[in-house]
Amino acid sequence: MNEDQITEWFARQSKLSPQDFPIGIGDDMAQIQLAEGISVLITTDMLLDGVHFNLEKATLEQVGYKAMAVSLSDCAAMATVPVAAVVSVALPKSFGEKQLKRLHAGITLAAGKFACPLIGGDITAWPNQEPFALSVAMLSRPTGIGPITRSGAKSGDAICVTGSLGGAISGRHLEFQPRVREAIKIAQIACVNAMIDISDGLSTDLNRICNASHVGAVVDADSIPISDQASKSEDPLASALNDGEDFELLFTLPQDQCKRLLQNWTGPVPITQIGIVTDTKKPQIKMPNGQVIDLQPKGYDHLCKGKPPNKLV
């Protein structure tokens, strides 16, 4: 089982009441209904030294910022408003006050940008020099429009992305801007059927939308916005499809809504249509030579041992 398969297994076991939990395991956030018309959403993300960052290259301020930004990106993925966060840390033995204050500076930078304060946490330390890990849990609330899930994509929808993709490894992954405001603005302009943030690569995250929505897709390789960093790589298209950590929005919406969105969108973050949703039940990609092939999920998977960790270090 890979990450998504075990997550689906957990989801099947969970048997949540849809009244109390309108969105459960398997989306970017889970939703808890607290009273008529009042709900809150929650996400959690664990970040590890040597996987999601490398303390030989990144500062603790950057790590604190990134940890918050990853969860803020989940809030964006559902077009919800961040509310507050808690952070738990597992410190190497040598870490103390100085390191915690640096981390805190990065956390509060992100918190301040998105009015999502740090309201609690837990400090633990390894007995020795085991590596640094931290986990964020973040709450958000729906706007009037309601959370946008992965499972609403419909055949015929346009598929769009914000920004440009690939090459985040070279540095962008530490200082990206979670698309919180963009997501809410998109949802205000147009009726969006499905949305996700691209954390593990377009190929993997489009597969997630297709699986959750029981649809297929055809992406036009030539229309994928490739980042400057990815353009300089050996295989820019593969980089844009599979690198991950772009934290851009990937979403689908009816063609007329897409037209409306693109006409009314004033940026500055670009929105690009990259394909259409189909009823084939599998995502495909039309390559620059015209050939249409299956789009395999080739993004990072924590449980696939056959693949060496290629994320950051």
Contact present, 109 and 66 (Cβ < 8 Å): no
Token pair, residue 44, equals 């959690």
Distance CA 71, CA 61 (A): 16
For residue 288 the two structure tokens come to 């620059």
Q: Which string of DSSP letters, residue by residue, matches 136-162?
A: EEEEEEE-TT----STT--TT-EEEEE
Closest to a second copy by CB, 140 vs 213, is 140
Smallest gap from Cβ 132 to a second copy, in A, equals 10
Cβ closest to a second copy, residue 55 vs residue 269:
55
Residue written as token pair 């009042």: 38
Minimum Å distance from CB 70 to a second copy?
Answer: 9
Q: Which helix (H) or strand (E) holds 206?
A: helix 202-213
Output the smallest distance, CB 277 to a second copy, in A.
25
Q: Based on CB atoms, which residue is closest to a second copy, 66 or 240?
A: 66
| Smallest gap from residue 227 Cβ to a second copy (A) | 24
Complex with a second copy: residue 129 or 231, whichever CB lies closer: 129
Query: In the complex, which residues of this chain contact a second copy (CB under 8 A)?
Result: 1, 3, 6-7, 9-10, 13-14, 16, 21, 24-25, 29-30, 32, 34-35, 38, 40, 42-48, 50-52, 83-84, 86-91, 93, 96-97, 100-101, 104, 108, 117-127, 130-131, 133, 135, 137, 139, 141, 302-303, 305, 309, 313
- Residue 139 or 271 with smaller CB distance to a second copy: 139
The DSSP secondary structure of 252-293, one letter per residue, reads EE-HHHHHHHHHH---SS-EEEEEEEESSSSEEEE-TTS-EE
Whether the link from the prior residue into 225 is cis, omega within 30° of 0, is no
Q: How far is CA 227 from CA 60, 238, 287, in A?
A: 26, 12, 18
For residue 115, the minimal CB distance to a second copy (Å) is 10
Tell me the C-alpha distance between 242 and 190, whole Å. 28
Q: Which is nearer to a second copy, 54 or 272 (CB)?
A: 54
CA Rg, the chain, in Å?
Answer: 19
Query: Based on the number of CB atoms within 10 Å of its own CB, is 137 exposed (0-12), middle (13-18) or buried (19 or more)?
Result: middle
Q: Which of 72, 106, 61, 47 is nearest to 178 (CA)?
A: 72
Nearer to a second copy, 15 or 288 (CB): 15
Structure tokens at 136: 């964020």
Least spacing, CB of residue 123 vs a second copy, in Å: 5
Contact in structure between 150 and 27 (CB atoms under 8 Å): yes
- Among residues 25 and 269, whose Cβ is nearest to a second copy? 25
Minimum CB separation of residue 30 from a second copy in Å reads 4
> What is the number of residues in the chain?
313
Shortest CB 90 distance to a second copy, Å: 5
